[in-house]
A and B are shown apart, each in its own frame.
Chain A
C-alpha cells in the first residue's frame, strides 16, 4: 500500500481518483488546489502525487516546481491529470518536474497501470 496525494479543485474528480486508487489498495489524501497540495506534501511524505493543472490559488505546474524543492521529493513521481493536451503546456509541466501527463477523463485500469509502473 502506497501513500498517494490527489490535487484537484473539482470535488468529483478528487472523489473518482480516490475511489479508483483506494480500490487498488492505496491510501489516498486529497488537496483542493496547488497551495493546499504543497502544504500537504510538506506535512507528510507521499509516494506519488496526481495533480490537476488549472486550479485557483496555485496551478499544478507551480505546485510541482515548489514540491520538487521540498526535501525527499526529488524523485517522487508526480502525474499531471488535466484536460489540457497542448504540447507547450506538457513541456512546461515536464520542465517543472512532472513525471507524466494524463489527459482527462482517465480510465481506472489505465491510471492504476501507470501508477503501478511508477511506484514499482
Chain B
C-alpha cells in the first residue's frame, strides 16, 4: 500500500512538472515559430528579387549587346579591309597619273618646239606667212597651259600619294589591332555570358529550393504542434494510471485477500504496461520536438543568404564588359575622323582630274582645228610652205598623242569615280549612323544592369536582415534551453515509478501460480478500463491482459481522426 501511495504521489508530481515544463517549451516554440515565419517572409522577398524580370531580361540584353558588338566590329573590319583595297587601287592610279603628267610635259615641250619652228618659218616667209603667226602663238599658249596643268596635277597627285601612303600604313597597323581587340572582346563577352548564364541558372533554382525549404519548415512546425499536444495526452494517461493505482489500493480493502491479490497483480501489470507506453510516448514526442527544432535551425545556413553577393558579382562582370565595349566605341569614333580625312582627299583629286580632263578635251579639239587650218593654209601657199606643212604634220602627231593622253585621263577619271563610289559604301561603316545598333544595345543593357543593380541592392539588404533574423532565432533557441534535458528528466522520473511498481509486481508475482486461477480477465478489464479515455490506452490494457507487446509508437501518437456530423 505504501509503495502504491508513493507511486501515485510521484506520478502526480511528475504530471504537474511536465505540464509546467512543456508549457515553457510550447511558449518558446511559439516564439521560435514566429521568428521562423519572419525569416521565411524575408527569404520570400529575397527570392522575389531573384525571380524578378530584370534578372532574365538583363541576360537577353547582354546577349543582344554581345551580338551588336560583334556585328559592329565585323562591319568595321570588312570596311577597313575595303578601304585598304581602295587605297591600294588609288596608289596605282596615282602612279598612272604621274605617268600621264610626264606624257603631258613631253607634249608641252614638243608643242613649244613647234611654236618656235613656226615663228622662224613665219619670219622666213615674210608677209605671205603672216597667217601662221596665230599658229605659233596658239602652240606657245598650248605648251604653257599644258605645262602648268601638268605641274598642278603632278603636285596634287604627289601630295595625295603621300597622304594615301600614310593612310595605307595606318590601316595596315589598325587592322591587326582591331582583329586582336575583336578577339579579346569576343572571348571576354563569351566568358562573361557563360558565367552569367550558369549563375542565373543556379539562381533560378533557388526559388525551388526555397519552396522546398518552406515546405520542410511547415512540416516541422506541424510536427512540433502535434508533439506538444501529445504531452497533454501523456498527462491524461498519467492521471489514469494514478486512478488505476487507487483502484488497486481499494481492491485490497474491499475484496477477499486472495481475489484482492489476483486483481492487484493483474492491475499492477496493466499500470506497468501503461507506464511503459507513456515512457515510449514521451520519448517519441521529445524526439519529434528536438528533430523539428533542429530543422528550424537549419534555415539559418540556407543558401538564400548568399544570393546577394552572387548577383552583385555577376552585375560587376557584365558592367566591365559594357565599359570595354564603350571604350572600343570611343576609339572607333576617333578613328572614324582619320579615315574620313584620308578618304576625303580622293574626292578633291577627282575634281582636279575632272577639270584637267575637260581642259584636255578642249585642247585636243583646238589642236585638231589648228592642224586642219595649218594644212589648208599651207596648201594654198604651195611649195613655199613645205616647212609649215611638215609642222602641221607634227601638230597632227602631237594632237594624236594628246588625244591618247586624254583618253587615258578619261579612264583614270572613270576608275576614280568607281573608287569614290565604293569608298562611299565603306565609309558608311565609319559613320555615326553605323553605330546606332550598338548604341541601342548599349542603352538597353545599361538600363537592364541598372535594374539588376537595384534588385541586387534590395537582395543585399534582405540578406542582411536575414542574417539579423538568424542571429535572433539562434539566441531564442539558446534561451529556450535544452529540451533534451527536460525530457530526460521526465523519463527518469517515469523510470523510477516504473521500477517501484515492477518490484511490487515481482513480489506479488511470487504468489501468482496460486492466484492465477482466480483472475477473471473480463472483470479486470471492466474494473480498469472505465478510467481509460483513449483508444490507445485500451489497446495497451488489452496487450497487458494478453501478455503481448505494446502497440507501436506511431499508433500511440495517431490522432487527427476527423468526423463531421
Q: Which residues of A contact B (CB under 8 A)?
A: 8, 10-13, 15-16, 19-20, 23, 54, 83-86, 90, 94, 98-111, 114, 117-118
CA distance A24 to B184 in the complex (A): 57
Q: Which of B22-37 contact A (CB under 8 A)?
A: 22-23, 25-27, 30, 33, 37
Does B130 touch A at the CB level, under 8 Å?
Answer: no
Cβ-defined contact, B564 with A99, below 8 A: yes
A-contacting 9-mer, from B151-159, B224-232, B385-393: B224-232
CA of A110 to CA of B362, assembled, Å: 109
CB neighbours (8 Å) of A16 from chain B are 26, 225, 228-229
Structural contact, A106 and B23, CB atoms closer than 8 A: no
Q: A11 contacts B19, CB within 8 Å?
A: yes
Assembled-state Cα–Cα distance A108/B33 (Å): 13
Chain B residues 189-235 with CB under 8 Å of chain A are 218, 221-222, 225-233, 235
**Contact count band on B:** 20 to 34
Identify 25 residue pairs between A and B in the complex whose beta-carbon atoms are under 8 Å apart, listed by A's number. Answer: A10-B235, A12-B228, A12-B229, A15-B26, A16-B26, A16-B228, A19-B33, A23-B33, A85-B534, A94-B565, A98-B565, A100-B564, A101-B565, A103-B561, A104-B232, A104-B559, A105-B229, A105-B230, A105-B559, A105-B560, A106-B560, A107-B226, A108-B225, A110-B560, A111-B560
Q: Which residue of B lies closest to A98 (CB)?
A: B565
Q: Give A23 to B19 CA distance when docked, in angstroms.
A: 24
Chain B residues with CB under 8 Å of chain A are: 19, 22-23, 25-27, 30, 33, 37, 218, 221-222, 225-233, 235-236, 533-535, 557, 559-565
Chain A residues within an 8 Å CB radius of B562: 100-103, 110, 114
- Cα separation A102 to B420 with both chains bound (whole Å): 94
Bound CA span A99–B565, Å: 5
Chain A's closest residue to B239 (CB) is: A54
Chain A nearest CB: distance from B106 CB in Å? 107
Best-surrounded residue of A11, A100, A101, A104 (most CB of chain B within 10 A): A104
Instruction: List the B residue with the shortest CB-CB distance to A84.
Output: B533
Q: Which residues of B contact A118 (CB under 8 A)?
A: 564
Name A101's closest neighbour in chain B (CB-CB): B563
Chain B residues closer than 8 Å to A8, beta-carbon distance = 232
**Complex contact A12–B563 (CB within 8 A):** no
Q: Which residues of A contact B26 (CB under 8 A)?
A: 11-12, 15-16
CA distance A85 to B227 in the complex (A): 19
Q: A12-B232, A19-B30 are in contact. Are A103 and B222 (CB under 8 A)?
A: no
Q: Chain B residues with Cβ under 8 A from A94's Cβ?
A: 565
Whole-angstrom distance between the Cβ of B274 and the nearest chain A Cβ: 14
Given A54-B236, A83-B533, A83-B534 in contact, is the A102-B229 Cβ separation under 8 Å?
no
Nearest CB of chain B from residue A89's CB, rounded to whole Å: 8
B209 to chain A: closest CB distance in Å?
Answer: 22
Complex Cα spacing A118 to B564, Å: 9
Q: Are A12 and B22 in contact (CB under 8 A)?
A: yes
Determine the residue in chain A with the shortest Cβ distance to B563.
A101
Q: Taking CB as reference atom, which chain A residue is nearest B533?
A: A84
Given contacts A12-B232, A102-B560, is CB(A108)–CB(B222) below 8 Å?
yes
Q: How far, in angstroms, from A98 to B565 measured CA to CA in the complex?
A: 8
The answer on a CB contact under 8 Å between A10 and B232 is yes
Residue of B19, B221, B222, B236 near A83 (CB, 8 A) is B236
Q: Which residues of B contact A107 (CB under 8 A)?
A: 222, 225-226, 559-560
Question: Bound state CA distance, A111 and B562, in angstroms?
Answer: 9
Q: Roughly how many angstroms separate A114 CA and B564 CA in the complex, as a whole number?
A: 9
- A20–B225 contact, CB under 8 A? yes
In the complex, chain A residues whose CB is within 8 Å of the CB of B232: 8, 10, 12-13, 83, 104
| Chain B contacts for A90, CB-based, 8 A | 563
Q: What chain B residues lie within 8 Å of A54 (beta carbons)?
A: 236, 533
Tell me the minimal C-beta distance from A75 to chain B in angstroms: 13
Cα-based distance from A99 to B563 in the complex (angstroms)? 9
Q: When the two chains form the complex, which single residue of A19, A20, A103, A117 contacts B559, counting CB atoms closer than 8 Å? A: A103
Residue of A23, A101, A104 near B233 (CB, 8 A) is A104
- A15–B33 Cα distance when bound, in Å, is 12
A12 to B526, CA, bound (A): 32
A85 touches B564 (CB 8 A): no
- A106–B233 Cα gap in the complex (Å)? 12
User: Could you tell me the distance between the alpha carbons of A82 and B535 in the complex, rounded to whole angstroms?
Assistant: 12
**In angstroms, how far is the closest chain B Cβ from the Cβ of A46?**
18
A16 to chain B, nearest CB (A): 5
Q: A11-B19, A15-B228, A84-B533 are in contact. Are A105 and B233 (CB under 8 A)?
A: yes
- Bound complex: CA of A74 vs CA of B257, how far in Å? 55
Q: Is the CB of B222 within 8 A of A109?
A: yes
Shortest beta-carbon distance, B232 to chain A, in Å? Answer: 4
Which chain B residue lies CB-closest to A93? B565
Smallest beta-carbon distance B291→chain A, Å: 16
Q: Of all chain B residues, which has the CB nearest A97?
A: B565
- What residues on A are CB-neighbors of B233 within 8 Å? 83, 104-105
Q: Which residues of A contact B236 (CB under 8 A)?
A: 54, 83
Q: Which of A10, A101, A108 lies in contact with B221, CB distance below 8 A? A: A108
Interface contacts beyond A102-B561, A105-B557: sample of 17 additional A-B pairs, CB < 8 Å, sorted by A: A12-B23, A12-B229, A12-B232, A15-B26, A16-B225, A19-B33, A85-B535, A100-B562, A100-B564, A101-B561, A101-B565, A104-B229, A104-B559, A105-B559, A106-B229, A107-B225, A109-B222
